[in-house]
Chains A and B, each alone.
Chain A
């Protein structure tokens, strides 16, 4: 059962300049992203800086409105909804931000935060405290943590608190933006396991946005790789790693350092710099850095090729 589908999402931020504040250009943050997420599963969205992955996440939760494209949630087109419908949508789709400390009000205790959310949505009226304790326990923390301020919590604890806050509205779908980026390695696994556990128990669906390929491999079922705001490859995560199709995916995976000095492999070192999103995309988004680039790549957008089992790639090499 499909819970979320995005089709050809694009976001171009206008750049204003000059005395009269005219639009002098655009930041082409997202150009053409499409993927779908099945209920109860984790879908990974992988890309580096400038790929637009965070912008995609923000569009899905409607913090930003797409320039074009569609977002379909539970069969309904939610791209342009407003007002009460939007509020309803926000109950079902939540987001956990990259830096948990920055996404909490430093002057509120955990209890204040959870209570505030519950009051706004009218959840657990009369039994807010019990609910708050239950949420804490769900994320592996205890009642006493309710009385802490963000700066009194460790990195891992803060991450759990923002997860608890997202869970307090009983969402169906959670966008996780770099959930382990601010955590120490020794603690990352705890948070990932927690997310997995919650998914198993409560059937949450996740969009995991990250540049960290190893956590993608660990918890996401399917993954979409994006470059310069366009999707270039999408597949079941296992297939993505064992049978990489797109040259960018190959370079990306080979660039990840492996903590075992005895493993020898060929690293593909990409030339050039990460894309400048002020330039619009012509043809294949990867054409300026691809080691196998051909003339057609610069001219025309590569068509989608299905290499089997829903493993899709957009590359002229496959034609």
Chain B
């Protein structure tokens, strides 16, 4: 058990009021596992990623809950202690490489600086610059970057989207973290490039047994790359289990609705939308947040928030499976 998130609750303070972004998120991740965090806008998946890294903006607050990473509760750590973990034991790759690669520095410079800061092999050697450079080139080779030495001398704007993501992946991987969080890392990429990058991620994962949290709204990516998936809605995990169970025989009405809404390239289906819209997290609905859109809604759904129940190896939060 590498990571265990227990009943995490996070609030944001804004003009419109308090946004209840996370309302009891619970899931876990084993060593060497790839976990998918699936959800649409407003589900709270990105907020979860930020919470795990303790990178929430100043107007956010972790109200309660635990984030237990290798036995340590991250919620209780100070910023200095958290800095030791971030980057070294936990790394991230985000959707928009523009915001994470400084446009005025060459790739090589940025990569080397990171290694000099965080990599013990580099820090402990006397030829820091040289060691770091070699390591950076080596990492670029690991992510199948063509002509890595050339890339080191290029600026971010000279690289394509796919290449930039591979650079971020290389940077994340270079410190051999226990966990990599990929937040919509391939969403902005073309589908053929996405396939490339996901393939590379898969190979790296197999080679090094790193755990990965793959955050995306694309259930196809989750089906093809993840072992387990946590489906999120309005700040809660509504269904959590192996992808072979959750995506093939979904239990929660939201998961069912989500899968039904997808048009497919492999078979003839008529996609059916889920009626209604995502709830307002400033005034979330009472009881189960999905009840206004759920075809099976019962009276109890409006009154109480469902607890997690275990059915067939999958954890579901729904009154359909018992009170």
A–B contact with Cβ pairs below 8 Å: the answer is yes
Interface residues, chain A, CB within 8 Å of chain B?
48-49, 154-156, 184-190, 192-193, 211, 213-215, 217-218, 241, 251-263, 267, 269-270, 272-274
The minimal Cβ–Cβ distance linking B244 to chain A, given in whole angstroms, is 5
Q: Is the CB of A184 within 8 A of B192?
A: no
Q: Does B224 contact A (CB under 8 A)?
A: yes
| CB nearest neighbor in A for B278 | A184
Q: Write out, one digit per residue, whether chain B residues 239-272 have a CB within 8 A of any chain A CB (1) or not (0).
A: 0000110011000000001110111111000111
The minimal Cβ–Cβ distance linking A217 to chain B, given in whole angstroms, is 6
Contacts of B193 in A (CB 8 A): 48, 273-274
The minimal Cβ–Cβ distance linking B199 to chain A, given in whole angstroms, is 5
Contacts of A185 in B (CB 8 A): 40, 217, 219, 258, 261-262
Interface residues, chain B, CB within 8 Å of chain A?
40-41, 146, 160-163, 190-196, 198-199, 217-224, 243-244, 247-248, 257-259, 261-266, 270-274, 277-278
Q: In the complex, which of the residues B163, B194, B198, B223 contacts A258, with contact meaning CB atoms closer than 8 Å?
A: B223
Q: Given the complex of chains A and B, what is the CA–CA distance between A260 and B195 in angstroms? A: 16
Q: Given the complex of chains A and B, what is the CA–CA distance between A273 and B189 in angstroms? A: 11
Q: In the complex, which of the residues B41, B191, B218 contacts A252, with contact meaning CB atoms closer than 8 Å?
A: B191
Q: Given the complex of chains A and B, what is the CA–CA distance between A46 and B243 in angstroms? A: 30
Q: Is the CB of A267 within 8 A of B261?
A: no
Q: Is the CB of A214 within 8 A of B273?
A: no
Contacts of B261 in A (CB 8 A): 185-189
Contacts of A270 in B (CB 8 A): 192, 195-196
The minimal Cβ–Cβ distance linking B186 to chain A, given in whole angstroms, is 10
Contacts of B257 in A (CB 8 A): 186
Q: In the complex, which of the residues A184, A253, A261 contacts B265, with contact meaning CB atoms closer than 8 Å?
A: A253
Q: Is the CB of B223 within 8 A of A260?
A: yes
Q: In the complex, which of the residues B162, B194, B243 contacts A273, with contact meaning CB atoms closer than 8 Å?
A: B162
| CB nearest neighbor in B for A217 | B265
Query: Other than the known A156-B277, A187-B277, what 19 A-B pairs have Cβ atoms closer than 8 Å?
Result: A155-B41, A184-B217, A187-B273, A188-B263, A189-B263, A192-B271, A218-B271, A253-B265, A256-B191, A257-B195, A257-B223, A258-B265, A258-B266, A259-B220, A259-B247, A261-B247, A269-B199, A272-B146, A274-B162
Q: In the complex, which of the residues A187, A257, A273, A274 contacts B218, with contact meaning CB atoms closer than 8 Å?
A: A257
Contacts of B224 in A (CB 8 A): 257-258, 261
Contacts of B247 in A (CB 8 A): 259-261
Q: Is the CB of A218 within 8 A of B263?
A: yes
The minimal Cβ–Cβ distance linking B217 to chain A, given in whole angstroms, is 6
Q: Is the CB of A261 within 8 A of B41?
A: no
Q: Is the CB of A261 within 8 A of B223?
A: yes
Q: Is the CB of A188 within 8 A of B163?
A: no
Q: Is the CB of A257 within 8 A of B274?
A: no
Given contacts A186-B257, A192-B263, contact A262 B244 (CB under 8 A): yes
Q: Is the CB of A255 within 8 A of B40?
A: no
Q: Is the CB of A214 within 8 A of B192?
A: no
Given contacts A214-B264, A255-B195, A274-B193, contact A186 B221 (CB under 8 A): no
Given contacts A214-B265, A215-B263, contact A256 B220 (CB under 8 A): yes
> Can you name 8 A-B pairs with beta carbons within 8 Å?
A48-B193, A215-B263, A218-B270, A257-B194, A257-B218, A261-B243, A267-B199, A270-B195
Contacts of B221 in A (CB 8 A): 257
The minimal Cβ–Cβ distance linking B313 to chain A, given in whole angstroms, is 15
Q: Is the CB of B277 within 8 A of A154?
A: yes
The minimal Cβ–Cβ distance linking B251 to chain A, given in whole angstroms, is 16
Contacts of A188 in B (CB 8 A): 261, 263, 271, 273
Contacts of B40 in A (CB 8 A): 184-186
Contacts of B194 in A (CB 8 A): 255, 257
The minimal Cβ–Cβ distance linking B157 to chain A, given in whole angstroms, is 13
Contacts of A154 in B (CB 8 A): 277-278
| CB nearest neighbor in A for B162 | A273
| CB nearest neighbor in A for B272 | A189
Q: Is the CB of B263 within 8 A of A273?
A: no
Q: Is the CB of A217 within 8 A of B263?
A: yes
Q: Given the complex of chains A and B, what is the CA–CA distance between A185 and B272 in angstroms? A: 10
Q: Is the CB of B195 within 8 A of A259?
A: no
Contacts of A213 in B (CB 8 A): 191, 265
Q: Is the CB of A214 within 8 A of B223?
A: no
Q: Given the complex of chains A and B, what is the CA–CA distance between A49 and B193 in angstroms? A: 10
Q: Is the CB of A48 within 8 A of B191?
A: yes
Q: Is the CB of B163 within 8 A of A273?
A: yes
Q: Is the CB of B263 within 8 A of A255?
A: no
Q: Given the complex of chains A and B, what is the CA–CA distance between A255 and B189 in angstroms? A: 12
Q: Given the complex of chains A and B, what is the CA–CA distance between A286 and B113 in angstroms? A: 38
Q: Which 9 A/B pairs are nearest by Cβ-Cβ distance?
A: A257-B220, A48-B190, A259-B219, A189-B271, A255-B195, A214-B263, A189-B273, A186-B274, A190-B273
